[in-house]
Amino acid sequence: MLTEVTGIRYVTPLREGGSVPGVVEADDLGTYVVKFTGAAQGRKALVAEIVAGELARRLGLRVPELVRFQFDPVIGLGEPDAEIQDLLKSSGGLNLGMDFLPGSLGFDPLVFEIEPAEAGRIVWFDALIGNVDRSWRNPNLLIWHKDLWLIDHGASLIWHHNWKTAEQASAKPFDAADHALSRFSPDPAAAAAELAPRVTEELLREVTALVPDEWLDGEPGFDGPDEVRRAYERVLLARAGSVHERIVLVAGQKPKQDAPDWLRTWVDGKAAK
Q: What does the binding site for ligand ADP look like in residue numbers (CB under 6 A)?
A: 14, 16-19, 21, 33, 64, 98-101, 104, 106, 140, 142, 151-152, 154, 270
Of 76 and 154, nearer to ligand ADP (C-beta) is 154
The phi, psi pair for 48, rounded to 5°, reads -60, -40
Whether the Cβ atoms of residue 205 and residue 236 lie closer than 8 Å to each other: no
- Tell me the residue number closest to ligand ADP, measured at CB: 17
CB of residue 205 vs ligand ADP: minimum separation in angstroms? 26
Beta bridge partners of 105: 143
Q: Give the one entry of Mg ion, ligand ADP, none that residue 126 binds, where binding means its C-beta sits below a cut-off of 5 to 8 angstroms depending on kind.
A: none
Q: What secondary structure does DSSP assign to 160-208, as a single string?
A: GG-GGGHHHHTTS-EE-TTBTTGGG---HHHHHHHHGGG--HHHHHHHH
Q: Select 64 or 212, whichever has its Cβ closest to ligand ADP.
A: 64
Residue 230: enclosing H or E segment and its boundaries? helix 225-242
Report the nearest approach of Mg ion to the CB of residue 269 (Å): 11
Could you give phi then psi for residue 24, rounded to 5 degrees?
-135, 135
Nearer to Mg ion, 54 or 152 (CB): 152
Q: Which does 106 bind (CB under 5 to 8 A by kind): ligand ADP, Mg ion, none?
A: ligand ADP
Partner from Mg ion, ligand ADP, none binding residue 257, C-beta < 5-8 Å depending on class: none
Which of the listed partners (Mg ion, ligand ADP, none) does 98 bind, with a CB threshold of 5 to 8 Å by partner kind?
Answer: ligand ADP
Distance, in Å, from the CA atom of 251 to the CA atom of 257, rounded to the nearest integer, reads: 14
Q: How far is the CB of 242 from ligand ADP (least distance, A)?
A: 29
Side chain identity at 34, as an amino acid letter?
A: V
As a whole number of angstroms, the distance between CA 5 and CA 28 comes to 7
* Closest CB to ligand ADP among residues 99, 187: 99
Q: Which residues bind Mg ion (CB under 5 A)?
A: 17, 140, 152
Residue 232 partner contact from ligand ADP, Mg ion, none using kind-dependent CB cut-offs of 5 to 8 Å: none
Q: What distance in Å separates the CA atoms of residue 132 and residue 257, rounded to the nearest whole number? A: 8
In residues, how long is the chain? Answer: 273
